[in-house]
């Protein structure tokens, strides 16, 4: 199964940059209500994040806005959400700008702590974004409350040497066709398992099914009631079939074993395909260019994404206009094109479209990955976040894992889920 996005982002931040830790209140040498457009005023903004490379955007912004300095405070690990919640609820040492992961943005998006960016003109900023990306920063009324510069699409990363041997091709388009449906994946996986004597598996984990399908379901809570999308039955049945027929290698995503299997450049290895988001390149050992050209990107049966980091402005920030200038920068084509150098896929459709015929990532060789990632992104439904869905998905995933290991039924999962939702959210009506 997939591990919690906040845990992964903490791993990623630690792997890439050692961030400064601390807390502080936003300050301005020019007083309150400072305008970011007045270059005569020196302004200092404070930004909180869990993602150390966020400093790159701040540094690039400062080059274009020399009168605005962004003091980026990095808090890696799983305590960031709690720290942010405490600061906002108490009004103590609240930053001007703060990042939120898609895994918990729903806990904040409908609160009064976030400035309404639509009133500042942000609807225009997100009008050209991938639909689900724009929706991810909107509240229940359709107001823009947060902005992101990435889209975090996911696909099947495959090891080319193993694909060439066991699939007969390492061409990404042909591999995509071979795994374009779960029945195809199961049939192909059974064949590989048999031919390899059980040593090689097509997939890394049965959890790939949930990762790919979860955002194609309606939200679990609708109008105050628990609603279980009928599509979840297909998810459970597909997971069971993959598990029982040894189509997957039972590798927990982002675990050390998963990383070792991903970095195996041999023709064999435990798994061929790994469902992973575009930002997972930190898991690949690129030392001495050993990984160059070793991987391909194939599209999964459905488009999907995993994670996502959004920036919001504190509603009581005295530097609202300057902070909004920074969010405008994040939403710009120029920055998102520059940010491609980090391996992060853009939020804007235009950045995909203008660069898809030229952009490459060394470990993918000559494959122009923006094109498949764009197709993937455009195949994800747009849904605004809420305070329940991500947590209930996590509950469901844990129950699905238990279902497989203990040979439980689909109905057992649904019954257990109802009980857990009742306990966690007494205000939600459960029938």
Task: Note the pLDDT tens digit of each residue in 366-378.
Answer: 999 999 999 999 9
pLDDT digits 0-9 by tens, 135-165: 999 999 999 999 999 999 999 999 999 999 9
Q: Which domain holds residue 116?
A: 5-151+307-355
- State percent of the chain over pLDDT 90: 90
Is residue 383 within 8 A of residue 308, CB to CB? The reply is: no
- pLDDT average, residue stretch 128-136: 98
Task: Tell me the whole-structure pTM to 2 decimals.
Answer: 0.90
Is residue 364 within 8 A of residue 295, CB to CB? The reply is: yes
Is residue 249 within 8 A of residue 201, CB to CB? The reply is: yes
Is residue 310 within 8 A of residue 295, CB to CB? The reply is: no
10 pLDDT more than 60:
no
pLDDT for the residue 280: 97
Measured CA to CA, the distance from residue 431 to residue 428 in angstroms comes to 10
Looking at the domain assignment, is residue 399 inside a domain? yes
In terms of domains, do 84 and 20 share one? yes
pLDDT for the residue 227: 98
- pLDDT average, residue stretch 393-407: 98
In terms of domains, do 185 and 300 share one? yes
Which of 355, 371, 393 marks a domain boundary?
Answer: 355
Radius of gyration, CA atoms only, the chain: 22
In terms of domains, do 235 and 317 share one? no
In terms of domains, do 201 and 133 share one? no
Looking at the domain assignment, is residue 67 inside a domain? yes
In terms of domains, do 105 and 28 share one? yes
Looking at the domain assignment, is residue 170 inside a domain? yes
- pLDDT average, residue stretch 118-147: 98
pLDDT digits 0-9 by tens, 234-249: 999 999 999 999 999 9
- State percent of the chain over pLDDT 70: 91
In terms of domains, do 147 and 158 share one? no
pLDDT digits 0-9 by tens, 306-363: 999 999 999 999 999 999 999 999 999 999 999 999 999 999 999 999 999 999 999 9
Looking at the domain assignment, is residue 52 inside a domain? yes
Residue 219's SS3 state is coil
Tokens 């189509």, located at residue = 247
Residue of 25, 57, 266 lying closest to 166 (CA atoms): 266
Looking at the domain assignment, is residue 429 inside a domain? no
pLDDT for the residue 41: 86
63 pLDDT more than 60:
yes
- pLDDT average, residue stretch 239-268: 98
Q: Which CATH number is 186's domain given?
A: 3.40.190.10
pLDDT classification of 285: cutoffs 50, 70, 90 = very high
pLDDT for the residue 340: 97
In terms of domains, do 325 and 388 share one? no
Looking at the domain assignment, is residue 79 inside a domain? yes
Measured CA to CA, the distance from residue 197 to residue 187 in angstroms comes to 16
pLDDT for the residue 352: 98
pLDDT for the residue 102: 96
pLDDT for the residue 78: 87
pLDDT for the residue 6: 43
- pLDDT average, residue stretch 260-274: 98
pLDDT classification of 384: cutoffs 50, 70, 90 = very high
In terms of domains, do 289 and 410 share one? yes
pLDDT classification of 8: cutoffs 50, 70, 90 = low
In terms of domains, do 320 and 299 share one? no
429 pLDDT more than 70:
yes
40 pLDDT more than 80:
no
In terms of domains, do 43 and 172 share one? no
Residue 372 CB partners (closer than 8 Å, separation 6+): 155, 172, 176, 297, 298, 299
pLDDT for the residue 77: 85
Looking at the domain assignment, is residue 366 inside a domain? no
Looking at the domain assignment, is residue 378 inside a domain? no
In terms of domains, do 114 and 210 share one? no
In terms of domains, do 144 and 204 share one? no
Tell me how many domains the chain contains: 2
């Amino acid at each position: 199964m997939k591990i919690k996005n906040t845990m992964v982002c903490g791993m990623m931040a630690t792997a890439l940059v050692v961030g400064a830790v601390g807390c502080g209140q936003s300050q301005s040498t020019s007083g309150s209500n400072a305008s970011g457009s007045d270059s005569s005023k020196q302004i200092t903004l404070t930004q909180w994040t869990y993602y150390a490379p966020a400093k790159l955007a701040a540094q690039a912004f400062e080059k274009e806005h020399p009168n605005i300095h962004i003091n980026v405070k990095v808090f890696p690990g799983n305590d960031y959400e709690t720290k942010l919640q405490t600061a906002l609820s108490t009004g103590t040492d609240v930053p001007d700008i703060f990042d939120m992961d898609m895994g918990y943005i729903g806990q904040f998006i409908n609160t009064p702590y976030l400035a309404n960016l639509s009133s500042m003109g942000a609807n225009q900023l997100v009008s050209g974004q991938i639909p689900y990306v724009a929706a991810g920063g909107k509240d229940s009324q359709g107001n823009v409350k947060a902005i992101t510069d990435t889209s975090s699409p996911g696909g099947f990363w495959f090891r080319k040497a193993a694909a060439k041997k066991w699939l007969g091709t390492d061409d990404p388009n042909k591999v995509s066709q071979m795994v374009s449906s779960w029945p195809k994946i199961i049939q192909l996986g059974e064949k590989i398992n048999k031919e390899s004597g059980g040593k090689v598996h097509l997939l890394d984990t049965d959890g790939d099914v949930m990762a790919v399908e979860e955002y194609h379901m309606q939200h679990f809570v609708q109008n105050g009631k628990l609603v279980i999308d009928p599509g979840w039955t297909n998810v459970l049945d597909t997971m069971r079939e993959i598990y029982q027929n040894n189509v997957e290698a039972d590798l927990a995503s982002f675990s050390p074993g998963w990383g070792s299997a991903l970095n195996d450049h041999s023709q064999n290895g435990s798994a061929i395909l790994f469902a992973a988001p575009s930002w997972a390149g930190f898991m690949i050992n690129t030392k001495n260019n050993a990984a160059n050209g070793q991987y391909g990107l194939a599209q999964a049966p459905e488009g999907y994404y995993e994670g996502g980091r959004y920036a919001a402005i504190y509603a009581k920030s005295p530097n609202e206009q300057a902070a909004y200038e920074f969010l405008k920068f994040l939403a710009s084509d120029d920055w998102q094109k520059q940010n491609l150098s980090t391996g992060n896929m853009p939020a804007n459709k235009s950045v995909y479209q203008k660069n898809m015929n030229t952009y490459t990532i060394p470990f993918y060789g000559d494959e122009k990955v923006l094109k498949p990632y764009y197709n993937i992104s455009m195949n994800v439904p747009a849904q605004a976040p809420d305070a329940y869905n991500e947590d209930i998905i996590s509950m469901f995933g844990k129950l699905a894992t238990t279902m497989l290991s203990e040979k439980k039924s689909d109905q057992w999962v649904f019954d257990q889920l109802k009980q857990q939702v009742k306990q966690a959210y007494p205000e939600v009506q459960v029938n």
